[in-house]
Amino acid sequence: MDLGAATALLHDPGTYTSGIPYAVLAELRREHGIVRVAEPALPGWPAGPGYWLVLRHTDVRTVLADPATFSSALGGTQIRDPEGEEDLRYVRAMMLNMDPPEHTRLRRLLHASFTPRAVRALDERVRGHAGAIVDAMLAGPAEVDFAKGVSADLPLFVLADLLGMPAEDRWLMFDWANRVIGWQDPDYAVSASFDAGAGSAYAADALALRPPPGPDGRLPDPRSREGMPDLYRYAHLLGAAKREAPGDDIMSILMSSRDDGPEGIGGGVSLEEFENLFWLFAVAGNETLRNGIPGGMVALLANPDAQRALRADPSRIPVAVEEMLRWWTPVMTFRRTATRDVEIAGQPIAAGDKVVVSFASANRDESVYDDPDVFDIDRYAVRPPPKAHLAFGYGPHVCLGANLARVQMTAMLTQVLTRTSWIEAVGEPAWLRSNFQRGVKRLPIRWRV
Ligand code: HEM
């Protein structure tokens, strides 16, 4: 295989509208383990210096476990570089793009806020929301878009509960996440699904600041503070209200906590920190599941025996969800920057180089998983189970919402599978144009009872 053509294919966001090129990943993973990818200018994506793409399970873990060598803060965690110092400063205000000790402090505060009581209450509400969403599905036409028409609402409801925001404002988060994640896909860049007439006073106030599209029809770059003034306004109003009158949601618990950890940074969460956490949760906890839940359904549509087995014994669903996460891998890549000269898989990497880990490749690594392309709902049922998949990352930044994501996927699939007799595909699905998220824009299905 021509290495230049193969890596150009992997970089191009357009490639993923027809699926992940797994055969290309497999060959590069076996032969090289790590490859150099050029970053030529593409539509909506300026030319960049290029990056190393890490393909093997073991090397992905090594990179993610070592923030002192592979920094999240130095250049952020997205492949595309922030445009200039000010945008870099802006993304660094989010914990996703921090290194220890700043990251450790926020992470500890958040951990402490997910109290067992709050988590139990949230899980209970997840099951209630999933039930109500499937009630609505069964009251509607038998042919439905399982992505936007069914799955998208669950993470929005759950985030509204977690963040303590009025449920009627939840589709604002759908639009914000589209603007951020959908920057690579023209269909999502100017998303406006929120019904302004139905929102709260905060929503009306925030919407007045929504920027108009520019001459190219796009909204400003969402990775700058000016790009998301409506989100920041909303977060500010919500955070200030929580300071005044805390609720029993996780963000209210967070806002009233203090950290006196060994790093000596200490203190509580400032309103500005809350605004940035709101941004992160509204995006990270939303798009990922909106793609993860339909991704699980894609696996069942392609594997009727698995659908039959889970219908016969729904207690197997939580273990099957683990395999869905490995097989689908909703987040395909994340980025770090080398802080010093180092080697990965025998390849010298220079200080300052971009290092991108491929979860999509690591989760199909044949040295870790037998028949890695096969979707096997019993893969994680054997004892001892195979190595954990990396769909939620690894190391200090491992997904903070992983358990909540598992609870949501399990709740939704349990409702759908126990309340219908069969689900089949009708018509063509549509995949997101992105080299970051493995997005499902449309998944037409027909259900039967
Ligand atoms: C299937 C669904 C999900 C997937 C595949 C996923 C994936 C990931 C991955 C790969 C990371 C690591 C980023 C890195 O190493 O730089 C991450 C971090 C994060 N995720 Fe998730 N996520 C999911 C759902 C959620 C949910 C439901 C929430 C919130 C309720 C959430 C909140 C976060 C946060 C706050 C971080 C940053 C953690 C940190 O920087 O320490 N995620 N996620």
How many A from CA of 54 to the centre of ligand 1? Answer: 19
Determine the distance separating the centroid of ligand 1 and the alpha carbon of 283, expressed in angstroms: 9
Cβ of residue 336 lying under 6 Å from some atom of ligand 1: no
CB of residue 390 inside a 6 A radius of ligand 1: no
Distance 128 CA to ligand 1 centre (A): 23
Q: In angstroms, rounded to a whole number, what is the distance separating the alpha carbons of residues 268 and 234?
A: 21
Q: How confident is the model at residue 84 (pLDDT cuts 50, 70, 90)?
A: confident
Is 95 a pocket residue for ligand 1 (Cβ < 6 Å)?
yes
Residue pair 244/138 in contact (Cβ under 8 Å)? The answer is no
Residue 433 has pLDDT above 90, yes or no: yes
Please tell me if the CB atom of residue 399 comes closer than 6 angstroms to any atom of ligand 1.
yes
Provide the 10 A C-beta neighbour count for residue 326: 25
Q: Find out whether the beta carbon of 364 lies less than 6 Å from any atom of ligand 1.
A: no
For ligand 1, the distance from its centroid to the CA atom of residue 112, given in whole angstroms, is: 17
CB of 282 closer than 6 A to ligand 1? no
The whole-chain average pLDDT of the chain stands at: 92
Does the beta carbon of 73 sit less than 6 angstroms from any atom of ligand 1? no
User: CA 193, CA 49: separation in Å to the nearest integer?
Assistant: 36
What is the model's pLDDT at position 256?
Answer: 84
- Ligand 1 contact via 295 beta carbon (within 6 Å): no
> Tens of pLDDT along 237-272?
999 898 888 988 998 988 888 766 766 666 788 888
Class of domain 3-448: mainly alpha
pLDDT band at 189 (very low <50, low <70, confident <90, very high): low
User: Looking at 32-41, 181-190, 239-248, 415-424, which range is the least confident one?
Assistant: 181-190
Distance 405 CA to ligand 1 centre (A): 9
Q: State if residue 288 touches ligand 1 by the CB under 6 angstroms criterion.
A: yes
> Are residues 188 and 176 in contact, defined by beta-carbon separation less than 8 angstroms?
no
Is the beta carbon of 360 within 6 A of some atom in ligand 1? no
331 close to ligand 1 (CB < 6 Angstrom): yes
Which residue's alpha carbon is at the smallest distance from atom 20 of ligand 1? 399
Domain boundary assignment for the chain: 3-448
Residue 146 confidence (pLDDT) above 70: yes
Average pLDDT over residues 353-377: 98
What's the pLDDT at 264? 60
CB contact set of 2 (below 8 Å; sequence gap of 6+): none
| Best residue among 154, 173, 286, 288 to mutate for probing ligand 1, ranked by most atoms within 8 Å of CB | 288
- Residue 271 has what pLDDT? 86
Q: What percent of the chain is modeled with pLDDT above 70?
A: 96
Q: How far is residue 194 from each of residues 153, 187, 197, 225, measured CA to CA in Å?
A: 12, 16, 9, 21
CB 114 within 8 A of CB 250: yes
Q: Using a 6 Å cutoff on CB, does residue 33 contact ligand 1?
A: no
Nearest-atom number in ligand 1 for the CA of 391 is 5
Is 312 a residue whose pLDDT tops 90? Answer: yes
401 ligand 1 Cβ < 6 A: yes
